[in-house]
Structure 1
Amino acid sequence: MALPSAALLPGLLLVADALALVLLVPLVPVLVPLGVVGLWLEAALRLPVLAVATWLLLPRRPSGATAAAVTVAATPAAFGTFRHLLGPPGAGPGLLVTASPTWLGVTHAAVALALLAWAAPPAPGGVPKTSGDVPKAPGTILRVLALTWEERNVLGGAFVCLVLAAIGETLGPYATGKVLDAIRNGDGLTAGAVGMVAAAGAASVLFSGCRGGLFILLKARLHQRLSLRLFSHLVRQDLDFFQRTPAAELSAQFSMEVPRVCMAAPSGANLLFRSLGMALVVGAFMFVLAPGLALLALLELPLGIAIHRIESARKQALQRSMLEASARTASGVQESVAAIETIRIFSAEEEEEKQHSCNLAKELRLKEQMNLELAFFTLVQRVLQLTIRVLVLFRSHQQLRDGYITPGVLVSFLLYQDTVGSHVQVLLYGFNEFLTKAAAGWKIWEYLDREATGDVGGVQKPPELQGHVTFQEVTFTYPGNPEQPVLKDVTFEVRSGEVTALAGSNGSGKSTAVALLERLRDPGSGKVLLDGIPLPEYEHQYLHRKVVLVEQDPILFSGTIRENILLGLEHCKESELQEAATAAGAMEFIQGLERGWDTEVGEHGEHLAAGERRRVALARALLRRPAVLILDEALDDGDEGAAQCWLRTGLAQTVLVVSHRPRVLDAADHLVVLERGAVVETGTPAKLREHCGAYSRLLLGGGRTGGPEASSMGSEKGAASGRE
């Protein structure tokens, strides 16, 4: 909470508490005979007055006001209870209403200091807190717990082993104490006593190992489940998502964030459940052995939590400042190196050295402050542990002298105290680590909550397709630029059994039309029909087996040439594979390779030349015998007759060619010319040449067919795309 609220709230609570005590004076004769119960009744009666008082701070009521009221009400009752249980014999609890006014002032002063200490301190250097992660943390933790619950069988087995290991670890000190008492009484060692100690140790070791192994298995299964779920969800997103999201960011989710999230629950459950279970079981045994000593020893728990909370808040604040200082230093170095010529020209080396020295000094001061505060809080924790241990020893000496406990009970108790202390430390640090790792995955859940905008719910799967494509008044705009449509009322046909070419200058909308036909995007208005059926009505996988695209620079996957051509096909004859490779012009270079079909293409096909990658991609497309084959700048000069050959041999039923090469365009049966997103001409190449319209201007802009300029345009493009 903010400092003004933290300073105003204690004063208001003090006034309200004084008023409540005045009202409770008539009830003193009723509460005093009740002892400890009367103390807590007094606290319960004071609490409503304190709670109502906090609402007077509206609209500036701090978030911790209710907790402050409860703390003020419960502190005197808790002190009186501990004084009654741990104090000298005959020391009874005293009501706050009958105590000296000094006690009221001391109570509220302690609470005020606690509120100020508990409030998160501002970061050194005025670094603001990042509020973005705060609302996400609880939701991400619940999502991690829900994911872990899906592996409840493994988690349940690990939890059973955890309980059995805790029982074995707990019985060890208890059996040791019994053995010591037996020796003291002159009974001597017995096989049963030694066997009990050995059995407890063996059970602890055995079930601890099983517990650890099951939690490792749980981590692996969660990693597999979450990685598969995230990947399956991402590959179904629309293209705009991948264009807006860097690939490095998505890769980092799989390589860094998924392992961290999947480690949170197993490691957290392993540490927290074990430590919490052990602390509860050992604490119960301590209460059974010596209730008074147990209350005194367990005072370390709330005090340790408070110290750890303050230390954690300070550490987070300093870490934010450290990150800012390190970033400032690195930025200064990068800027100086980039502008070294300017620095040299103006002889500014000394100024840059001073600035860098200043940045390093700030970073060093923060590091020193972090180390000093770490040493200070470590010292406070050690002093607290030592103080509690001295008090326990002093009190146990009194009870041992008075005959309330035996030496064996004392040894067992001290062993339990060491055990519960270590588990409390694990709880303090393990819980914070669990929250940090669980909250780190908020981006993963954000991706999983994102719905894909593309509709892939079609069901049409006709046994045969003719490959007749129709664009009906199609208009499309990209989401990032809705004011400028890329296609405007585009209408044309791609007839079955023909080669249709899309022509146009760069930016005319050719690639967008191909994306709509591949259904990588959906039109804003109008329809794209295949054999008279709108594309969204076709089943997703069926459509992409029947409409196949080959690009100028196609993507190949790591593996062999054979595996890339067979991609996605389960059954294929060797004769069909060779026929497709021969038709694509890939057979000659494949046979010339040392390993032939089993040649590794490398990542993205980097072991092959651009032209060879294109031949492999053509073979991959022809092997599927598509209803519609789309060639986006995938044909070179000299390949213009290939498309007609594929139609005659039945390797494709319809071919749509996108090209800038005049020879390829002239070989088409039908031409569709686009300009600025609109269809301006359609017809045969010869007819459009005679018309002397947009197609003729396009050829003149890039060179005449067969002329020097056209030849140069084609050869340069081919050299750029097919260079070895």
Structure 2
Amino acid sequence: LCMTTADMAKVTGKGIALVSAVCVDLSLFYAAGLVATRSVFGHFARLWLHAALRCSALSAVTLLTLGDLNPLLIRVIASHSLLPAVFETGTKALYREETECGPSADARCWLVCAAASLVGALFWEISVPDAEDAAAGKEKKQKARVLFLRVLALYKPEYLLLLGGLLMLTLAVLCEMFIPFYTGRVIDILGTQYRPNEFVSALLFMGLYSLGSSFSAGCRGGFLMCAISAFTCRIKVQLFGALTRQEIGFFETTKTGEITSRLSKDTTLMRRAVCLNVNVLLRTFIKTLGMISLMMNLSWKLTFLVLMEVPITSLIQNIYDTHYQRLSLAVHDSMALANEVVNEVVSSIHVLRSFNTEKHEARRYDDRLMDTHILKMRQNPVRAVYLLARRLTGLGMQVVMMYYGRLFIRSGQMTTGNLVSFILYQSDLGDNIRTLTYIFGDMLNSVGAAGKVFEYLDRKAQVSMEGKLKPDQLTGNVVFRNLSFAYPTYPDKTVLQDFSLELKSGQMTALVGTSGKGKSTCVSLLQRFYEQQDGEILLDNEPLKSYDHRFLHKKIALVSQEPVLFSGSIRDNIAYGLAECSLDEIQEAARKANAHDFIMKLEKGYDAEVGEGGGQLSKSQRQQIAIARALVRQPQVLILDEITSSLDMTSENKALASCPNQTLLVIAHKLRTIQRADQIVVIDGGRVQERGTHQELMELKGSYYRLREELFEEENPAQ
């Protein structure tokens, strides 16, 4: 109803072009039969002249009616015009026979040629598209090929297992191919004059080939499963290692659910790209070639007829892959979002319970699952239509094959046993062709998952860890020089701007200021969690990035406000990250952190379990363990970020007194802690506003003086 006049004209023009082309082609097709008896040319010359005439006439009609010939029309016209000549010439040259589409051509031959040319052209259009689509398809295939080769290279340690599996696969396929052949032999022996020796011999060979096929298939599965298991473990470890080397900003911008999905789901899909898919591909390909050769010996005519199913099946599979893979990617992303909700809830269960948001989070999880469910429901109709089309194609080919098989038996071209063997081969061949067309789509999907894994494996952290400097002596003098920094999640919001500060060796520096002004950012940059946009941080007059990563984080230790403990014993948590750490060193660090006494009161002492996240210890005990974990490294620079809020005065004094020679950087909101600092630095607006001792800053009566009641917990701070 909404079609314009121009649209109606286009439709009318296409209709006229189609009717004209059909009329002209049918006239020429039937004229060929009349001319054949009076032709002065030879049989083959007449065939090809007639094909050229039909091609020229159809091209001329199309140009006159439509005014243009696009590549798809050219392929349809060429294949439709040349197909009878090609088929007749090939049959005559190879088998010295004439086809029914020779001189006595009729409407059935014309319809078969038209249908075959249309299917072939459509298959070409989808498999090898033109112009921009062709370029995009070529780029996609090239990318898939590169990814596949990379996955194959990762299987190098399992090459012997893969070669063993390939050998067993070949033996299994060869044995399996001959079973239908001897089945037909048995039927022929039973259907004609019974010969006991031949019958027993055929049964014996059937049994031997069946046994060989079963044994080889079992060995093949064992070899490949071992290779798959080893590969999966190794690729997961590599991916996990690559993830742990990324900068902190990566984890702030990447969802946890996406990361866990790559580790659990995509690595599993990767293993299918080689071991499973290549196994199926090679087995099916070898078996298909063998069956086609045996079928050609039984009846070449029926074989060519059966092979007409290939372009139709490939066309159906290609259309299905295009739509189904797009939906599969959407399902994977949706599942990653659902996993993200679970991770957030589990890691924040205390907040969830405190704010009574159980129902809200359940609804949020249900919404994510419903999104996944909707996408999967969209997949089901696509798969249902695909299965229906595939089943109809197979059944239609079986009906046609049975019809012509009966004709060949009546004419003496085949025996009943040969037809039974052919039917058995055809049944397997149809499945193999469908498997081949399916496996390419599945390999593309598997390689796509590999691309996501390689994206993380190839990613280089924005904070470099390639430094090599490991000096024997380190004084711990730290200089922040003209720093400018913005977090990766908020690149337009500058946190530090032209920031300069010196932390002198052996002195305690306290950072003060209201929340969000840059104190914790200084700590993060000193720990190299992020890379500043401008300026540099020097440690003993050398840039931080020039130091060896492991060495740097042993010499600069951090104790945060909310320390994280890992499941395991207290001893494991204190010695965390140190390969060789004696119990004496662990106990000495615990004494400095005032943790030794409470640890020894526990039933298992230093072997006592802390629980998940340190849940079996109080907050102050977790803080003391974290301080001991930092001190056992004997750092030259120690950072204490708001730790005094969880410690009593005795533990705090002991922790600060245990660092007489280290450079100490403290962020605290207790006046008793700030007063002990050799240098107090007031940070505001991403810059250093004031610096000096407590007494000097109080006498100055600037920002520190005005903010003392807000900054410190004491109600009546000493002047």
TM-score, normalisation: structure 2:
0.76
How many angstroms does 1:424 deviate by? 3.0
User: What residue number does 2:288 align with?
Assistant: 279
How many angstroms does 1:634 deviate by? 1.7
C-alpha distance in 1, partners of 2:109/2:469?
82
How many angstroms does 1:302 deviate by? 3.5
SS of residue matched to 2:658? helix
Q: CA 1:32–1:251 in structure 2 vs 1: closer, same or farther (change >3 Å)?
A: farther
Q: CA 1:563–1:31 in structure 2 vs 1: closer, same or farther (change >3 Å)?
A: farther
Matched-pair contact (CA < 8 Å) for 1:584–1:616: yes
Q: CA 1:46–1:195 in structure 2 vs 1: closer, same or farther (change >3 Å)?
A: same
Matched-pair contact (CA < 8 Å) for 2:405–2:419: no
SS of residue matched to 1:641? helix
Q: 1:537 aligns with which of 536, 546, 551?
A: 546
User: What residue number does 1:611 align with?
Assistant: 620
User: What residue number does 1:395 align with?
Assistant: 407
Report matched runs for 1:382-531 at 5 Å: 383-398=395-410, 402=412, 404-406=413-415, 408-531=417-540
Q: 2:178 aligns with which of 171, 180, 188?
A: 171
Matched-pair contact (CA < 8 Å) for 1:581–1:616: yes
User: What residue number does 2:147 align with?
Assistant: 143
Unaligned runs of 5+ in 2: 1-6, 127-135, 333-373
Unaligned runs of 5+ in 1: 121-131, 324-361, 711-724
Q: What number of residue pairs does the alignment pair up? A: 645
Q: Bigger CA drift: 562-571 or 69-78?
A: 69-78
Q: Bigger CA drift: 191-200 or 84-93?
A: 84-93
C-alpha distance in 1, partners of 2:137/2:603?
56
C-alpha distance in 2, partners of 1:378/1:63?
28
User: What residue number does 1:76 align with?
Assistant: 84
Report matched runs for 1:680-691 at 5 Å: 680-691=689-700
User: What residue number does 1:641 align with?
Assistant: 653
User: What residue number does 2:570 align with?
Assistant: 561
Q: CA 1:478–1:493 in structure 2 vs 1: closer, same or farther (change >3 Å)?
A: same
User: What residue number does 2:361 align with?
Assistant: none
C-alpha distance in 2, partners of 1:321/1:625?
50
Q: Bigger CA drift: 499-508 or 9-18?
A: 9-18
Q: CA 1:249–1:14 in structure 2 vs 1: closer, same or farther (change >3 Å)?
A: farther
How many angstroms does 1:619 deviate by? 0.8
Matched-pair contact (CA < 8 Å) for 2:463–2:528: no
C-alpha distance in 1, partners of 2:220/2:315?
31
C-alpha distance in 2, partners of 1:63/1:600?
73
Q: 2:164 aligns with which of 140, 157, 160?
A: 157
Deviations, residues 262-304 of structure 1 (Å, cap 9, x unaligned)? 2343332232322222111111111123322322333343344
User: What residue number does 1:241 align with?
Assistant: 250
C-alpha distance in 2, partners of 1:322/1:515?
37
- 1:581 equivalent in alignment to 2:585: no
- 1:261 equivalent in alignment to 2:270: yes
C-alpha distance in 2, partners of 1:497/1:364?
63
SS of residue matched to 1:502? strand
C-alpha distance in 1, partners of 2:658/2:73?
79
Matched-pair contact (CA < 8 Å) for 1:257–1:440: yes
How many angstroms does 1:515 deviate by? 1.3
Q: CA 1:662–1:8 in structure 2 vs 1: closer, same or farther (change >3 Å)?
A: farther
SS of residue matched to 1:486? strand
Report matched runs for 1:654-669 at 5 Å: 654-669=663-678
C-alpha distance in 2, partners of 1:85/1:204?
38
- 1:674 equivalent in alignment to 2:683: yes
C-alpha distance in 1, partners of 2:101/2:146?
43
C-alpha distance in 2, partners of 1:413/1:109?
25
C-alpha distance in 2, partners of 1:17/1:219?
60
User: What residue number does 1:229 align with?
Assistant: 238
Q: CA 1:415–1:370 in structure 2 vs 1: closer, same or farther (change >3 Å)?
A: closer
How many angstroms does 1:641 deviate by? 2.7
User: What residue number does 1:347 align with?
Assistant: none
- 1:707 equivalent in alignment to 2:715: yes
Matched-pair contact (CA < 8 Å) for 2:568–2:609: yes
Q: Bigger CA drift: 412-421 or 61-70?
A: 61-70
Q: CA 1:17–1:701 in structure 2 vs 1: closer, same or farther (change >3 Å)?
A: farther
Q: Supply the RMSD in Å over aligned alpha carbons.
A: 4.9
Matched-pair contact (CA < 8 Å) for 1:50–1:69: yes
Match of 1:76, as an amino acid? P
Deviations, residues 520-563 of structure 1 (Å, cap 9, x unaligned)? 12222222111111111111221111111110102222222211
Matched-pair contact (CA < 8 Å) for 2:576–2:629: yes
How many angstroms does 1:229 deviate by? 3.1
C-alpha distance in 2, partners of 1:232/1:479?
22
Q: Percent identity?
A: 31
Match of 2:163, as an amino acid? G
User: What residue number does 2:368 align with?
Assistant: none
Matched-pair contact (CA < 8 Å) for 1:5–1:62: no
C-alpha distance in 2, partners of 1:34/1:613?
93
C-alpha distance in 1, partners of 2:392/2:154?
42
Matched-pair contact (CA < 8 Å) for 1:17–1:46: no
TM-score, normalisation: structure 1:
0.75
C-alpha distance in 2, partners of 1:685/1:629?
21
C-alpha distance in 2, partners of 1:322/1:628?
48
C-alpha distance in 2, partners of 1:239/1:703?
30
Deviations, residues 224-248 of structure 1 (Å, cap 9, x unaligned)? 3432332233222222221111112
Q: CA 1:480–1:319 in structure 2 vs 1: closer, same or farther (change >3 Å)?
A: closer
User: What residue number does 2:354 align with?
Assistant: none
